[in-house]
Amino acid sequence: MEENKYLNDLQHIRQMMRKSTLFLSLSGLSGVLSGVYALIGAIAMYLLIKQHQLYYPYVYIESKTFKSIIAIALAVLVASLLTAYLFSARKAKRNGERLASPTAKRALYNFAIPLLTGGILSILLIRNGHYGLLAPITLIFYGLACVNVSKYTFSDVHYLGITEIILGLLAVYFSGYGLLFWVLGFGFCHIIYGGVMHFKYEQNKDKNND
């Protein structure tokens, strides 16, 4: 009995230390939904491009089609961020944690630096007419953001980041297939990794609580 109590105390201490150093309120379901948003956005972009190509051979920056594509991408980004916030807030409340904890702030800081850098670089590329590099740049810098933040959250995020970086590099090599790699990276990878994280950390935890 004493030994079991001692082991339980040790386990409790380990859990407390883990909570104090890792942001564990990241929701896998929000990743799945982000992937779904990306797929819907990619389909909309594809249809716009196909419609545009009925009349013009290329999509120029000044065209209405290109502006619509950017608007769709921004809508996907905003929807994904909002979903991540809402699901993480709900998970944090359920776990009795604070969403605005020091660990969460460190995680956000480390995630934001590469992400904002990639965003600024993307804007500069658009401004200078290099929009063919948008898909690889967004994939690579998003991957770097995931790798950078992974030390403050689930280790699965690290592997998601590596996958995104590889897809971004492949998108540079296979020029002209940016939308396809964008779908793979932001769509299917989010759905797969989000699903894995949900069943690995959230579903199993709910079963244990039952």
Which amino acid would we find at residue 99? L
pLDDT at 22 (0 to 100): 55
Q: Are 184 and 167 in contact (CB under 8 A)?
A: yes
Instruction: Report whether pLDDT(108) > 90.
Output: no
pLDDT at 24 (0 to 100): 59
- What global pTM score does this model have? 0.82
Instruction: Report whether pLDDT(12) > 60.
Output: no
pLDDT at 100 (0 to 100): 72
Full DSSP string of 154-178 = -THHHHHHHHHHHHHHHHHHSTT-H
Q: How far apart are CA 89 and CA 181, in angstroms?
A: 31
Q: How far apart are CA 123 and CA 121, in angstroms?
A: 5
pLDDT at 14 (0 to 100): 45
